[in-house]
A and B are shown apart, each in its own frame.
Chain A
Amino acid sequence: MYDKDTSMLERLLSMFQTVQDEGHGSVLLVFVTGMIFGSIIQYAKVHKFEKIAGFAMLKDTVVPKMLFLAIGLASIGLYFMIELGWASYHVKPILLGGLIIGGIIFGASMAIFGKCPGTGPVSVAEGRIDIMVGAIGGIFGGLVFTLFYDKFKLLMGSSLGNPTLVTYFEANSATAVLLFGIVLIAISIAIPLLEEIDEDDVGYQK
C-alpha cells in the first residue's frame, strides 16, 4: 500500500481521507471541534506559560480549577449519556510502567515547557517562538518513540485491564459516578483562585 514515492503532501491529504472513512465525524466536524477546543483554551488563557508553569509553582490555580470543573461536570453527563445509549466508553488500559514513568516525565516536562500537547498549538498560533522550538523537540520525541517503540513497550508493561469506577461499583455505579463528579466540582470551587499574569497580553487586562 505504501509507495516509496508517496510525497509528504499526498500523505497529508490521505489524513483527511482516513478521517472521512473512519466514521468518527466528518473532516469538517473534527476540524470545528479543534477550533472550539482551541478557542476555549485560548479565551480561558490556560495555554499561557504563566498559567501552567504558574500552577507548577502554585502561584496560579486557573488550570486545576477549570480542569476539575470540566471533568466533574462531564463525568456525570457522560455516565447518563452512556446509560441512554448516546455514547460509549473508550477507556485507556492500565499499563503501570507507562503511566508512572510516562507521568513523571510528562509532569516534569510540562512544568518546564509551561505547555502540554493540547495547549502548545494555541501558543504556536499566537506567535510564541519558544513553543515552536519546543514543538520541533516534540516531533523528534515522536520520532524517537516510533523508532524505539519495541524498547519503550518493555517499560510500559502489560495491561492490567481498563476498569473505571463503574467496573468496581457495578450495582451503585450511578451513585459512585455522581459522587466522583460532585467531589471534583467541590474541589474546583474550593481551590483558592490565584493568578499569575503576562502583563504584555493585551487580551489579559481585566
Chain B
Amino acid sequence: MIKKIPWWAGGIAMSLLLLFSFSLLGADRPIGASTYVPYFAGIIFDLDPEKYTYLKEIHNAGSWEGVMLLGVLFGAFLNAMFITKTFRFTIVPAAWKRYKNNSVASRLLWSFVSGFFLIIGARLAGGCTSGHFLSGMTQTAISSMIFGGVVMVTLVVTGKLFYKDSKNV
C-alpha cells in the first residue's frame, strides 16, 4: 500500500481537487480552511450568532468548512490507523528537538500561543494557506498574492530567528 507520494504527485492531485471544488460538478466554491475555527468557537462558547456580526458573516462559510474539516479528520484518522500507520501520540516533533529544545513545556506553550495567533492572523487576512494561497492564487487574485508574499517572507525570517542551526550548536 502506498504510504507516501512525491511532491509533484501531491501538487497534481491538489490542483485537480481545487478544480473539482471550483466546478459546478463540485461545490462551486473555493476550498478554505480557517473560517471553521471561529465558527466552532462560536458553538463551543455558546455565542449568540444573532448578536455577533462576525458569526453572522461566517455562518455559511463556517458550516461548509466545518463539514469539510470533519471529512479531513475522519479521512486522516483512517489513513493513519490502517494505511500510513502514522498514528501515535507524540508531543515534541523530531525537528523541534533538533533545532529548538527537548522541553515538553516549551513546545506546548509555543503551540498554544502560535495556534492562537495563527487564527488571528488568518482571520485578519481573510484566509489561510488554503483559502488565500491555494484557492486565491489559483484565481490569480491580487489580494492572495499580497498575502502569499508577506507570509513567505515572514515565515522564513521567523524560521531563521526562532530556530538554531544544529550544525552550529
On chain A, the residues within 8 Å of B158 by CB distance are 56, 107-108, 111-112
Please determine whether B95 and A37 come into contact, CB atoms closer than 8 angstroms. no
Please determine whether B84 and A118 come into contact, CB atoms closer than 8 angstroms. no
- The reply to whether the CB of A201 lies closer than 8 angstroms to some CB of chain B is yes
Please determine whether A141 and B117 come into contact, CB atoms closer than 8 angstroms. yes
- The reply to whether the CB of A74 lies closer than 8 angstroms to some CB of chain B is yes
On chain B, the residues within 8 Å of A201 by CB distance are 86
- The reply to whether the CB of A190 lies closer than 8 angstroms to some CB of chain B is no
* Distance to closest chain B CB from A158 (angstroms): 13
Please determine whether A49 and B14 come into contact, CB atoms closer than 8 angstroms. no
A89 to B135, CA, bound (A): 10
Please determine whether A106 and B115 come into contact, CB atoms closer than 8 angstroms. no
With A58-B156, A105-B120, A126-B80 given, is the CB distance from A37 to B72 under 8 Å? yes
Please determine whether B80 and A130 come into contact, CB atoms closer than 8 angstroms. no
A55 to B155, CA, bound (A): 8
* Distance to closest chain B CB from A197 (angstroms): 8
With A33-B17, A103-B150, A146-B54 given, is the CB distance from A137 to B116 under 8 Å? yes
Could you count the A-B residue pairs with CB atoms below 8 Å apart for me: how many are there? Answer: 521
Please determine whether B9 and A44 come into contact, CB atoms closer than 8 angstroms. yes
Q: 0/1 per residue, B127-143, Cβ < 8 Å to A? A: 11111111111111111
Please determine whether B68 and A99 come into contact, CB atoms closer than 8 angstroms. no
Please determine whether A8 and B44 come into contact, CB atoms closer than 8 angstroms. yes
Please determine whether A33 and B31 come into contact, CB atoms closer than 8 angstroms. yes
Please determine whether B124 and A141 come into contact, CB atoms closer than 8 angstroms. no
The interface centre, meaning the residue of B2, B92, B122, B152 with most chain A CB atoms within 10 A of its CB, is: B122
Please determine whether B80 and A103 come into contact, CB atoms closer than 8 angstroms. no
* In-complex Cβ contact of B134 among A71, A120, A198 (8 A): A71
Please determine whether A34 and B72 come into contact, CB atoms closer than 8 angstroms. yes
A42 to B110, CA, bound (A): 23
- Chain B binding surface SS class: helix
Please determine whether B68 and A110 come into contact, CB atoms closer than 8 angstroms. no
The interface centre, meaning the residue of B34, B47, B55, B141 with most chain A CB atoms within 10 A of its CB, is: B141
The interface centre, meaning the residue of A22, A74, A86 with most chain B CB atoms within 10 A of its CB, is: A74
Report the interface size for chain A: residues with CB under 8 A from the other chain: 145
Please determine whether A81 and B64 come into contact, CB atoms closer than 8 angstroms. no
On chain A, the residues within 8 Å of B6 by CB distance are 44
- The reply to whether the CB of A29 lies closer than 8 angstroms to some CB of chain B is yes
On chain A, the residues within 8 Å of B112 by CB distance are 133-134, 136-137
* In-complex Cβ contact of B21 among A19, A33, A106, A124 (8 A): A33
On chain B, the residues within 8 Å of A22 by CB distance are 60, 63-64
Please determine whether A39 and B143 come into contact, CB atoms closer than 8 angstroms. no
* Distance to closest chain A CB from B91 (angstroms): 5
A79 to B137, CA, bound (A): 12
With A50-B95, A78-B19, A125-B77 given, is the CB distance from A118 to B10 under 8 Å? no
Please determine whether B75 and A35 come into contact, CB atoms closer than 8 angstroms. yes
Q: 0/1 per residue, B58-74, Cβ < 8 Å to A? A: 01101110111111111
On chain B, the residues within 8 Å of A112 by CB distance are 110, 113-114, 158, 162
Please determine whether A33 and B4 come into contact, CB atoms closer than 8 angstroms. no
Seen from chain A, the residues whose Cβ lies within 8 Å of a Cβ on chain B are 1-2, 4, 8, 11-12, 15-16, 18-19, 22-25, 27, 29-46, 48-50, 53-58, 62, 64-75, 77-79, 81, 86-122, 124-131, 133-147, 149-150, 152, 155-156, 162-166, 176-177, 180, 184, 188, 193, 196-204, 206
List of 4 A-B pairs having minimum Cβ-Cβ separation, nearest first: A34-B71, A56-B159, A107-B154, A134-B115
